[in-house]
Amino acid sequence: MKRVGVIGASGYTGLELMRIIFSHQKLEVSMLTARKYVTERVSKLYPSLTGFFDFDFKEYKSELIAESCDAVFLALPHGESMKVAKELLDYGIKIVDLSADFRFHDANEYEKFYGMKHVCPEIAESAVYGLTEIMRREIESASIIANPGCYPTASLVGLYPLAKNDLISGTVVIDAKSGVSGAGRKLSLDTHYPQVSDSICPYSVFFHRHQPEIERQLVSYSSGSAGDVVFVPHLTPMNRGILCTMYVPLKTAMRFDDVFSLYQQNYSNEKFIKLLERGVYPSTKNVQGTNNVHISFEVKNGGNELIVMSAVDNLMKGGAGQAVQNMNLMLGLKEEEGLMFPGLFP
């Protein structure tokens, strides 16, 4: 068994990590920290864990983590992970970071989009962007993984085969919708029940931090020929889920069968990417509680424009599930260990 810690375990992704790891055959939780809830019983904060994690949150101390953990998940707010990453790496502990602190190799870009000074730019330069199906070989030998955001995961998995084959001719428009859990546990007026119930609204148009994350990765996949994105996120009145509808201008007209064949070439052996039959469209309900990505597409305008649709659970493939998938690879385990289960329905 590999011993893992969850640093910042009191949030929704921390809860999801605990839920996954409890049934994992090769990982065991050896440390849970939560600054606000030190000495408080885990099951008091999350009664759903009663009988599964009946022990207390601990205070973060790097030397104790080094003694008890082979690897850690950092489920901390943006700006906090970078404060602890170096000392944990110096102890030889492998890290999967769920914040945005290491998603940009160029620390100047991070500072531009997140408005704070990066304290360890040298680690950001070496961190591997953990979109597992695309970066598998790099992840296997990495010491620190930058777990992608939920919106970028749904978007990039849907666009990767097109970018890789240099088929995108111009601006990609991404219409994205997210459940409220994507905002985390912290209370705010924007996620207050009367605000979100029976309503849907766009937010952070042109200024969402995930847009540059998507653009930078698309550029890397396409050798610089793709990357112009209009990204419009929406908040929807559901607990979890991401649905992206992407409008893609193509350099070469393609038939539906050509597109399907292209995606099969890239994803036919992937355990968590499911290509849906023509006319069957992704639904957040059908990926709820899973590490799966559902993808479908339609061709329009004589084959010159493609509509790509993808759905993920933002707390799973868009967060904790992908983090475990990455950790499995880093620790030499089967990539799918602990993650092979169907969705919750209805």
Cβ atoms within 10 Å, residue 35: 13
CA distance linking residue 164 with residue 226, whole number of Å: 9
Cα 51 to Cα 26, 41, 249: the distances in Å are 20, 11, 52
Query: From the candidates 69, 150, 201, 244, which is the catalytic residue?
Result: 150
Catalytic, 69? Answer no
Q: Are 208 and 150 in contact (CB under 8 A)?
A: no
Sequence-separated (6 or more) residues with CB below 8 Å from residue 254: 167, 262, 299, 303, 306
CA distance linking residue 329 with residue 333, whole number of Å: 6
Cis check: omega of the bond before 233, within 30 degrees of 0:
no
CA distance linking residue 26 with residue 219, whole number of Å: 36
Nearest-5° Cα angle at 218, 216 to 116 = 20
Question: Which residues are paired to 230 by β-bridges?
Answer: 173
- Catalytic residue IDs: 150
